[in-house]
Amino acid sequence: MTLKNTDDRWGAVSQLFHWVIVALILVMAYIGLTMGDLPNGPRKINIYALHKSIGLTILALVVLRVLWRVYAGAPAPVPGTPTWQQRIASVTHFLLYALLFAIPLSGWVLNSSAGYPLQWFKLFNLPAITGRSDGVHEAAEGAHELLFWVLVALVVAHVGAALYHHLFQGDTTLTRMLPGRRKAPTLAPVAAPASSSPTPQDSPDENP
């Protein structure tokens, strides 16, 4: 496997970005859906800080992934994919990237408008990107939650499409984002039918 993308598969760097971001999104989703129910205290503060730090990490990784894609390009569409499916895939990918920018940024606005400090894993502080404002805070909170659920819907559609292509179309849409050199499944060769021409043993004698 090469580091850069090729015409028929994603390279090692793109795969690494993809699966690390997927893992972080799953962690973020779990934390985001459960941290509000935690009792007030140091543990809740630390969980919120972890949520913010992971969100900033996702934002940075998405920026790097977009830059890498500009540099390394992207594989060509899987042969035989209809044009309408290619367009839907392109729009879906664009929206996924946009959401992975917008969700962390809305969280940053949410944090800044509440007047809270923002640290990355307690290593350094990041500046506020808006002043303290109840109105901005309320709007950012609503946007942050709404964008998350839109992301969930798109991810479900994205995964469903990849599985459909793998299980029913038998192409490399899914496998070319997996490590290792993988090929699309091929149909077993069909045996040629036996010849219907008579063999010398089967041919009638020329003499009675």
Q: According to the model, what pLDDT value does residue 80 have?
A: 87
Domain map of the chain by residue range? 12-177
Judge whether residue 200 has pLDDT over 90.
no
pLDDT in tens, 75-132: 999 998 899 999 999 999 999 999 999 999 999 999 999 999 999 999 999 999 999 9
The pLDDT of residue 203: 44
Measured CA to CA, the distance from residue 182 to residue 107 in angstroms comes to 39
- CATH of range 12-177; options 3.90.550.10, 2.20.25.240, 1.20.950.20, 3.30.10.20: 1.20.950.20
Q: Average pLDDT, stretch 3-12? A: 92
Q: Please give the structure tokens belonging to residue 171.
A: 């192409």
Q: What does pTM read for this prediction?
A: 0.83
SS3 label, residue 186: coil
- Structural contact between residues 115 and 132, judged by C-beta atoms closer than 8 angstroms: yes
Residue 8 DSSP symbol: S
Full DSSP string of 114-169: TT--EEETTTEEE--SS---HHHHHHHHHHHHHHHHHHHHHHHHHHHHHHHIIIII
The residue type found at 50 is L
